[in-house]
Amino acid sequence: MKRLLNFIDGQFRPPAPGRYLPNVEPATGRVMAEIPESGPEDVDAAVAAASRAFEAWRKTPAEERSRLLLRVAELIEANFEDLARLESEDSGKPVALARRMDVPRAILNFRFFATAILHAETSAHMTDDRALNYTLRQPLGVAGLISPWNLPLYLLTWKIAPAIAAGNTCVAKPSELTPMTADRLAALIGEAGIPPGVVNVVHGPGASAGRALTSHPKVPLISFTGGTKTGADVMTHAGPLFKKVSLELGGKNPNLVFADADLEQAVATSIQSSFSNQGEICLCGSRLFVEKPIYDEFLDRFLAATRKLRIGDPLEPATEVGALVSDAHRNKVEGYVALAREEGGRILTGGKRPADLPERVRGGYFLEPTVVAGLDCSRRVMQEEIFGPVVTVTPFASPEEAIALANGTRYGLSASVWTRDLQKAHRVAAALESGTVWVNTWLLRDLRVPFGGMKESGVGREGGFESLAFFTEAKNVCVKL
């Protein structure tokens, strides 16, 4: 069986405690690899390597850093199929989705930041004829990068690429549930010629390896994507050390369908936004609100399309819904389905483990796409992030009511609005408490735009120059004239 190692100072090394954790393939329930159960000693070694590498890396010309990052993108492209398959096996997601989204985006992340640094500008402020101020943007040192299991390679590269493009070195801690593509990426980074110590990967549980990173005094910035509760723990440890912190957390995203929407498009895209990646995307629209005049028709079409989704072996190219990431996570999601019934909701479709799965995946963590109606918006099922293939549907009577319902949670990550009325679209978009609002679309991402959440969905923004700003320190130089 494959045994993963940490990647420290350009070499694969066993963890200091010598202990390993099983890594399970969610579609089968079988152990597919072992991963290091790293602790503070391993994080210390990685931070020391990253600190040593920093002085030379920060002085490496942008053109050279860019060339090396582009080389990583080429190598990911050359290993496209392997990475897509590995991501699917490791996370339970359909391989078709990994091919369409995860791997292309990993390539783009490296290309985007490799070229962005060639176009970076800085600002100057003249203080009348008395002084010239200019802003230096300098890397901070060792960046701590903690990523989740839902989009493993996609989100890890979204952090590594801007961090090192800006001249920092890093220690990355991928999710212990999905370590496989991070391990492969580490090898490709070495092969690309990125100097030893610039990128280090430490595997292991959040409570040991993750926390060792957030509380490490020599790691001045942390970029974290994961659950809101974990985000609070990151803040608790990073706060007293005054680290720069960026948190991308959970969502309970509203999807508002007005009566004048293009119904066919709204239904087709809402199926995607509800069930893509088994609902395990922080941007999934898990609360669907539909204006009363079209509620019945929308629901009929939406339920018919939900029932048609092909659930099965993630490695089959035609599969649209794969397995949830773990047994524990499926239990959590099933707990919410039971809670929906207790809270007075009606399960219109789904809610069960699928029957008749192919032989290979009978032991996997599958759950049918599930639609729940009839819940009051104050109920827990409508307030808490479920992060599975479960969507609620609720009718509304006016734009004001839709906005109030949409904003009525602790979260504020993203929202979708479906309408053909341009003015209404702009008005509603402005009123939504949400880091991103999509109008007549979902998950259309331009890497230049600011990305992040309001309220308990996060702190800070990444994306484009916002990422480069996060991964650098702005220094004002004031010269008297």
Q: Is 467 in the site for ligand TXE (CB under 6 A)?
A: no
**H-type alpha helices, 171-291:** 180-192, 211-214, 228-238, 263-275
Least distance between ligand TXE and beta carbon 67 (Å): 30
Cα 228 to Cα 159, 176, 252, 274, distances in angstroms: 18, 18, 11, 20
Name the DSSP class of 222: E
Least distance between ligand TXE and beta carbon 324 (Å): 10
Helix 152-165 and helix 180-192: axis angle, to 10°? 30
111, 211, 379, 461: which one binds ligand TXE (CB under 6 A):
211
Least distance between ligand TXE and beta carbon 146 (Å): 5
Q: Which stretch in 11-19, 37-45, 194-202, 247-255 sits in contact with ligand TXE by CB under 6 A?
A: 247-255
249, 284, 347, 403: which one binds ligand TXE (CB under 6 A):
249
Length of the chain, please? 481
Q: Which is nearer to ligand TXE, 266 or 333 (CB)?
A: 333
Q: Is 206 in the site for ligand TXE (CB under 6 A)?
A: yes
Q: Is 169 in the site for ligand TXE (CB under 6 A)?
A: no
Which secondary structure element, helix H or strand E, spans residue 62, and what is its range? Answer: helix 62-78
Q: Which is nearer to ligand TXE, 150 or 416 (CB)?
A: 150
- What are the beta bridge partners of residue 436? 414
Asked if 282 is an active-site residue, the reply is: yes
Q: Which sign, positive or negative, has the C-alpha torsion 302, 307, 309, 312?
A: positive
For residues 272 and 375, what is the distance between their CA atoms, to the nearest angstrom?
A: 22
Selecting among 37, 248, 385, 462, the annotated active-site residue is 248
Q: Is 146 in the site for ligand TXE (CB under 6 A)?
A: yes
Q: Is 411 in the site for ligand TXE (CB under 6 A)?
A: no
3-state helix, strand, coil in the chain (%, to 5): 40, 25, 35
The site string for ligand TXE over 93-132 (x = CB under 6 A, - otherwise) reads: ----------------------------------------
**How would you classify the pairing of strands 221-225 and 142-146?**
parallel
The beta strands (E) that lie in 258-410 are given as 287-291, 346-349, 370-373, 390-396
Q: Is 148 in the site for ligand TXE (CB under 6 A)?
A: yes
Name the DSSP class of 427: H
Structure token digits, residue 49: 């390597």
Decide: 98 and 84 in contact? Cβ < 8 Å: yes
Q: Is 226 in the site for ligand TXE (CB under 6 A)?
A: yes
Q: Which is nearer to ligand TXE, 92 or 226 (CB)?
A: 226
Closest-approach residue to ligand TXE (CB): 206
Q: Which is nearer to ligand TXE, 195 or 450 (CB)?
A: 450
Decide: 387 and 250 in contact? Cβ < 8 Å: yes
Q: Is 203 in the site for ligand TXE (CB under 6 A)?
A: no
Task: Write the DSSP assignment of 294-314 as a string of letters.
Answer: HHHHHHHHHHHHHHH--BS-T
Q: Which stretch in 129-137, 147-155, 262-270, 284-292 sits in contact with ligand TXE by CB under 6 A?
A: 147-155
167, 197, 250, 350: which one binds ligand TXE (CB under 6 A):
250
Least distance between ligand TXE and beta carbon 183 (Å): 14
Residue 239 has phi, psi (to 5 degrees) of: -55, -55
Q: Which stretch in 54-62, 225-233, 293-301, 438-446 sits in contact with ligand TXE by CB under 6 A?
A: 225-233
For residues 1 and 131, what is the distance between their CA atoms, to the nearest angstrom?
A: 65
Least distance between ligand TXE and beta carbon 161 (Å): 18
Selecting among 282, 456, 462, 466, the annotated active-site residue is 282
Asked if 359 is an active-site residue, the reply is: no
Q: Which is nearer to ligand TXE, 248 or 291 (CB)?
A: 248
- Total residues in contact with ligand TXE, by rule CB under 6 A: 26
Q: Which sign, positive or negative, has the C-alpha torsion 410, 413, 417, 421?
A: positive
Query: Strand, helix or coil at 138?
Result: strand
Q: Is 210 in the site for ligand TXE (CB under 6 A)?
A: yes
Q: Is 246 in the site for ligand TXE (CB under 6 A)?
A: no
| Of 12, 57, 58, the residue nearest 194 (C-alpha) | 57
Q: Is 405 in the site for ligand TXE (CB under 6 A)?
A: no
The site string for ligand TXE over 366-385 (x = CB under 6 A, - otherwise) reads: -------------------x
Residues annotated as part of the active site: 248, 282
Given the rule CB under 6 A, which residues bind ligand TXE?
Answer: 146-150, 173, 175-176, 205-207, 210-211, 214, 225-227, 230, 233-234, 248-250, 282, 385, 387
